[in-house]
Structure 1
Amino acid sequence: MAHIIVFGNEKGGSGKSTTCMHTATALVRAGLRVGVLDLDLRQRTFTRYLENRVDYGARHGVQLPTPEVMGLPKIDRADLSEGENPFDKSLSLAVAELEDKVDFIVIDCPGSHTRLSQVAHSLADTLVTPLNDSFVDFDLLARIDPDSATIIGPSVYSEMVWHARQLRAKAGLKPIDWIVLRNRLGAQEMHNKRKMGQALEDLAKRIGFRVAPGFTERVIFRELFPRGMTLLDLKDIGIANLNLSNVAARQEVRDLIRALNLPNVDITV
């Protein structure tokens, strides 16, 4: 059975699709078979990333390791059983078609609460939640007292993950390995950065996730999108001499793959 990695939160602008694309590409470059599903049916950022990648390779004659894209099948409501949800069936059919052909299924969820996203979370073996290093984004996970910085209680997204865990437990599936990524970390050790780190560590103990460093804010991540490239592809497109910033960014990708602790993945990718 394929290992399912779900990238999700309920807030846009956290670098979710960029993180998703780098993870999927890293796994393909490690010699693994990867299928991807983009559940953001409106923006389709992950799909556009892959389309740009295929187009760039075709135009420049470059063979780039690329995951297999799977679209969601259209469901005829006449074929549904009584009470069956069309989104549930569509996602189930797509996963079923991929899971015997690939080692990993990577699912990119929209930055909002949808039925597809909710179902995808319950399918996750590994759940990755990229989060900007800000208390604005932290509010997605938990409410915090502004004076004492103590955690008052879980917020909407954490409650959805808890519900997904309950569904998996009832189905006899293994628990979700939930990782929260601190994206767009500042280079300097600022007071807010320390408070954010402490709040995440405290919350991790209460609701059960691991904290890992994500990607620092770098221009190159935005520049790569039109070509569908990742930092692991630069030598393939003729950029052999990387500057220090690019070398550091590529190391962040490798550190991310190690932090995910996925089964049968070579961390030297």
Structure 2
Amino acid sequence: MKKRIILFTNIKGGVGKTTLCGLFATYLAQQGIPVAVMDADIQQSLCRHRQRDLSDNPTEELPWQIQSINTSDDEMVESLMEKLKSIPGWILIDCPGNVSDHALKYIYQAADVAIVPFGYDTDTVDATMLFCDLFKRVCPAKMVFVPNNIIVSDERREQVKKDRDEAVKLLGNIGYVTPRIKHGVAVKSYNTLNTLDYWQEKAVENAFKPLIEKIKKL
């Protein structure tokens, strides 16, 4: 298995990068792809999620390992990224919601792929485009955009359709845009220890299947 260092990143808050990172890790593990997760977000949301899940089920087998990264420690981050480059399998990194942490440059420079969740609304697309401009200056990674937490009924509205088409066009000029992931309880209720149930898998597979194939070809 070729190594891949895959970032989940965006400066726009609330787009679901941490949730998608955890879901993607579990989905990869179910596909037999070796995977581990690094939590570089200052809030440590994914690490805390794993701790809560373990407190409820302390003897549960771990489907994937997770480790926190302190992005205020340049030397540690630089050393860690060098080590990760030699590990076979896919390493997912949940990045901070900013581009100002100095040590992020070591994470960006080591990355193969950046997965960027987004919504169709103009504010989110504008922020995502700004992020892309900053990101591409310092990172050679291929960019993949995932329309996430999309309310299906809203897509019947003409303005939402217009916003969607414009977003896909703009971001499609920068990288690959996957099919959308719908808004729903199944996605929000995931557990970092459990395999995805039928409804969770159905919710994400339309985006994750082509995403995996895209990453494999890079």
| TM norm. shorter chain > 0.5 | yes
CA distance in 2, matches of 1:118, 1:128: 17
Deviation at 1:15, TM superposition (A): 0.9
Moved over 6 A (4+): none
Q: 2:160 aligns with which of 184, 193, 206?
A: 193
* Aligned residue pair count: 211
CA RMSD after TM alignment: 2.6
Deviation at 1:119, TM superposition (A): 3.9
- TM-score, normalization: structure 1? 0.68
CA distance in 1, matches of 2:132, 2:89: 28
**What is aligned with 1:158?**
132
CA distance in 2, matches of 1:123, 1:197: 31
Q: 2:196 aligns with which of 233, 241, 247?
A: 233
CA distance in 2, matches of 1:216, 1:134: 15
Cα separation, partners in 2 of 1:118 and 1:11, compared to 1, 3 Å: farther
Cα separation, partners in 2 of 1:186 and 1:112, compared to 1, 3 Å: same
- TM-score, normalization: structure 2? 0.82
Instruction: Look up the equivalent residue of 1:21 and give its one-letter code.
Output: G
Question: After the TM superposition, which of the residue ranges 49-58 and 104-113 deviates more from structure 2?
Answer: 49-58
Unaligned runs of 5+ residues in structure 2 are none
Which has the greater radius of gyration? 1
Q: Is the CA contact 1:9–1:111 (under 8 Å) kept in the aligned structure 2?
A: yes
- SS of the residue 1:141 aligns to: helix
CA distance in 1, matches of 2:70, 2:148: 33
The percent of aligned pairs where both chains have the same amino acid is 20
CA distance in 2, matches of 1:14, 1:68: 24
**What is aligned with 1:15?**
16
Query: Aligned runs of 1:105-184 on 2, under 5 Å?
Result: 105-115=91-101, 116-142=103-129, 155=130, 157-165=131-139, 168=140, 176-184=141-149
Q: 1:104 aligns with which of 81, 90, 105?
A: 90
**What is aligned with 1:80?**
none
Deviation at 1:213, TM superposition (A): 2.8
Unaligned runs of 5+ residues in structure 1 are 75-85, 143-154, 169-175, 235-241, 265-269
